[in-house]
Chains A and B, each alone.
Chain A
Amino acid sequence: MALQKTVTFIIERQDSPTGKPYTQEFELPWRPALNVVAALMEIQKNPVTKDGKRVAPVVWECNCLEKVCGACMMVINGKAQQACCALVDKLKQPIHLAPARTFPVIRDLLIDRTVMFENLKRIQGWINVDGTWEVRIPPRQNPNTAATAYEISHCMTCGCCLEACPNVGPQSDFIGPSPIAQAYMYNINPLGEYDKANRLNALMAKGGITSCGNSGNCVKACPKGIKLTTYLAQINRDVNIQALKNIFDH
């Protein structure tokens, strides 16, 4: 009889925001197409460590399991990624899971990404419409521009790029790659363009685009394949022009 194939996880845990991190090892039966979230669900059903100790189930965040909500980002074998589409068969065992410590940890793999949503306020991440009421026929848009906006609009605020970026973290006030790309998306919108100068000026402030050190990790980490470095370079170009305007227009 063939031995039951198993999968081993080494999970970095922490009981509270101020708790001390520790690791636990779990072993569970392999099955085809098993992903990390499904494995965590199995552990949740029967939270017993490899050495037979019954422990509290591992805490993590997930919603859609389809790689669109961005909730289940964690560090898997050293790299930030979505747990729901991290297939066990493609990972080296034992599989190490850790919270993304760029962000404050709440418990186990659960992190607090409030800062990402606050960043969207910093860049005025919206189109400043008059209201939800009917105004008139909306402006037409170049389908190619719309396609670029569509690409950037896939950003699910998961935080992979921030976790991978060496310049984002408690040691720095860098806003990170994703909100900068978002700012570009609003800037190319026919209505969003009206606030372009405000967004660029916000990005020229402390912790803005100037804190980018061109490590290029963001574009490799992005689970949505958004061309982050390209948009960062574009915003760099735009802020230079904006800086000239700031000097010579007044």
Chain B
Amino acid sequence: MFNITFYLRRLHSLVGLFMGAFLMVHIGNNSAVLLGPDMMNMVIGTMDKMPMFIRLPIELGLIAAPFGFHALYGVYIALQARNNPIRYGYLQNWQFTLQRWTAWYLLVFLIWHVYYLAIHTRITGIHLCFEFLQSYLSNPVYWVLYVLGMWAAIFHFTNGINTFCMTWGIAKGPRIQMVINMACMGLCGALCLETLALMLVYILPIF
């Protein structure tokens, strides 16, 4: 007996975790900026050295496709919910709601982000570097939207780890669920602070 719903939903969960891994790598790369613009440019340069015939399949197969699936199925999931955190203002219910709200935001944000920084720059031949990003993010609206985008992704991922543990039946009892939740939210807070710091590099005269 094969229940397609079950496999799709579990796949969605796994893919989410995979996307999260990518997010961690991405944040790690971006953090290079904390060591200075040169470091950042070096990291971007290393990426650029990868030949297109390797890079494109990776981007399409390992990033775009899973993301597309996670996003599309996620839209379906989000539409199944009628959020009620005002009536039931429990922490976990707020997390549930934020998971969906961040998802909607990320959907729009990532399309914008990927289109502009990965597709538009390649088509128009703009060279991606610290200086370009600095001028781009000097627009305060963009900067704020980017910070929010990063935070949304971090929350969505860390809370995703939390619910992953419940969905897969790893954390069963209330105590372990609470412990994992707190650990995930701790990670969320730490990553949010880190991304805030790296985003500040672009607008503050540090280097």
Contact = CB atoms under 8 A, between A and B. Distances in A.
Interface of A: 78-79, 164, 166-167, 169, 171-172, 174, 201, 204-208, 210-217, 219-221, 227, 229-230, 232-240, 243, 246
B6 interface: yes
Contacts of A207: 5
B177 interface: yes
B93 interface: yes
Nearest to B91: A216
Contacts of A214: 92, 96, 162-163, 166-167
Chain A contact residues, majority secondary structure? helix
Given A210-B9, A211-B80, A216-B93, A201 B3 contact: yes
A246 to B, nearest CB: 6
Nearest to B86: A78
B77 to A, nearest CB: 7
B166 A232 contact: yes
Given A236-B168, A240-B169, A217 B88 contact: yes
B171 interface: yes
Interface of B: 1-3, 5-7, 9-10, 77, 79-84, 86-88, 90, 92-93, 95-97, 99, 162-163, 166-174, 177
B169 A221 contact: no
Contacts of B81: 166-167, 171-172, 213
Given A166-B96, A213-B96, A233 B171 contact: yes
A215 B93 contact: yes
B87 A79 contact: yes
A122 B179 CA distance: 34
B75 to A, nearest CB: 13
B167 A220 contact: no
Contacts of B171: 233
A78 B90 CA distance: 13
27 contacts: A78-B86, A78-B87, A166-B97, A172-B80, A201-B3, A206-B3, A207-B5, A208-B3, A210-B6, A211-B9, A215-B88, A215-B92, A215-B97, A217-B84, A217-B88, A230-B172, A230-B174, A232-B166, A233-B172, A234-B172, A235-B169, A236-B166, A236-B168, A236-B169, A237-B170, A240-B168, A243-B10
Contacts of B172: 230, 233-234, 237
A217 B168 contact: no
A165 B159 CA distance: 18
A205 B96 contact: no
Contact of A215 (B77, B96, B174): B96
B70 to A, nearest CB: 15
Contacts of B87: 78-79
A211 B83 CA distance: 14
A166 B163 contact: no
Contacts of B169: 233-240
